[in-house]
Structure 1
Amino acid sequence: MAIEHDRDIVSAPTELMKFETLHVPGALKLSQEMAWPYRREDWEFAATVGQGLVLERAGQVIGTAMSWNYGQAYATAGMIIVTGSAQGGGNGSRLFDGLLEATGARNVLLNSTEEGLTLYKRRGFTAWGAVLQHQGPLTVAVTPNARNDIRPATVSDLAAIQAFDERATGMPRPSMVAALADVGNVVVIDRAGRVAGYAIARRFGRGYVVGPCAAESAQDAQLLILAQLATLHGQFVRIDVYAEHGLGDWLESLGLKRVGDATAMVKGRRPVTDGPARMYALANQSFG
């Protein structure tokens, strides 16, 4: 009877619907199937700050796709998963096409695994860079730089941090930045009262993630990251950085091994940064 029941589930029709809180347990099961480190809290946070679609079959979540809108011009996409038994039947395309339709006329950015490249290229995405995933137990004793221009952020810094983030990404992300700051520890570079960089560390996956980290130079980004790592000794830490900035070898020297990479892609035009501000470490590969 169990075998017949499983066959009934596989042959049942699929339904595409809006991602709701009630879908979180099913989404978590999918990410666990893929050996992704998301916790229930990580799914709940992603759904709170974004929107998404699910594919259901016989009441079970068999696929997810999420997006996060940044103003009227940009969106990022991620957390795109289809269970193994439902792959190869057009379900991934159905999910992703629905997600693209929901983003409207926005330019869409994403970070693709090797497996997703073909689908995204067929939908008009082009590669522009790479994201390197570094992680591991932080066993190296990290001492923060003694510079007095790096300090903990206060509530009154939020508007300046949001403005700096927009210059660094080229996208208005005030709600995302506020949500990340609300659940994380935030440090800033304060130059004569001007916020010249920031970094957030928060609980995520197997331990902590350091990111986003935005700064005006790679050296400033390193100082911000060190300020966060100094509080995380002995913890499992993940940092996702853009390859173009050359921080990979430095993270390796701190014991955070490179364990994977993703291809940064865009459909439409990339956002344009303002001045020297750049994003060095991501909040995660889905949010951008």
Structure 2
Amino acid sequence: MSPAPRRILHVIPWYAAGGGVQRYVREIVAHQQSEGLEVTLLTTSSHADAEDPAHVRRIPAPLFLLRTPFAPAFRASIERAEADLIHVHGPNPLVDWSVLGIERPYVYSLYNPFPSSPRMAAPLIGFGKRLSRWAMERARGIAVLDPGLLQEPWVRAGIPVWHIPPGVDATVFRPLGLERRREVLFVGHIRPEKGLHLLIDALRELPHDLTLRVAGSVKYARSYANAQFARARRLLGDRFVWQADPTDEELARAFNEAGCVAVPSLGLETWNLVMLEAAACGAPV
């Protein structure tokens, strides 16, 4: 029997404060470290990132393609890493290609189906799906957070598949007994598929004593975020509040003070940590 792995390498396309997947991975890493394991997290760099803890290692991503960081150094970095087990967080075609042919064992966490794309990008998306399928077929096991992903044809590869639902830290996200404000709260990464532009339009039609608070981070859709912030300030004035990169404690307070939490997502949400945390704080969603 092989010895239990002591050195874990997590590979995730991008990693920043505020995102549901990123916060989920952070909790996995914290638990593994508490068990005495040596953990490294390999991801891409961004000028928007705050100072990282020592276990996070970033590599350059020269460009983004279909909202995905393109970092050619992934494969070489994985090959050089001193790890007994690799944990791939996907789908991401470049990361998936990078682990193909790697001799060390790896497991694969699948968070979402492959994203939709413009028709002109269909051939590229099709190739990316094949890379992800090949990577999953060679994994020691696949973990999914949403049971709907068990129906995806590319996880039926005859290897173990685990459904591991996300959880909430109830010591942080809980009712605090604060007075709720006339405030609509949006939490998440600022990108088009999260629907912030629709929420801004909706606030125009609601009573003018309502405030829109947006708490989250800007990673790759910076032009979209800047445009929506400018629209919100023009249309809502001082009824718009931007809270950048909140901590968990700051998020818990925002959930407790909000009159309601809005989740205007335009795409498929296979799981949504914001709704779970809001509910844990007693906030209407």
Output the TM-score relative to the length of structure 1.
0.27
TM-score after normalising by structure 2: 0.27
Q: Which has the higher contact order (CA 8 A, sep 6+)?
A: 1
In proportion to residue count, which structure has more strand? Answer: 1
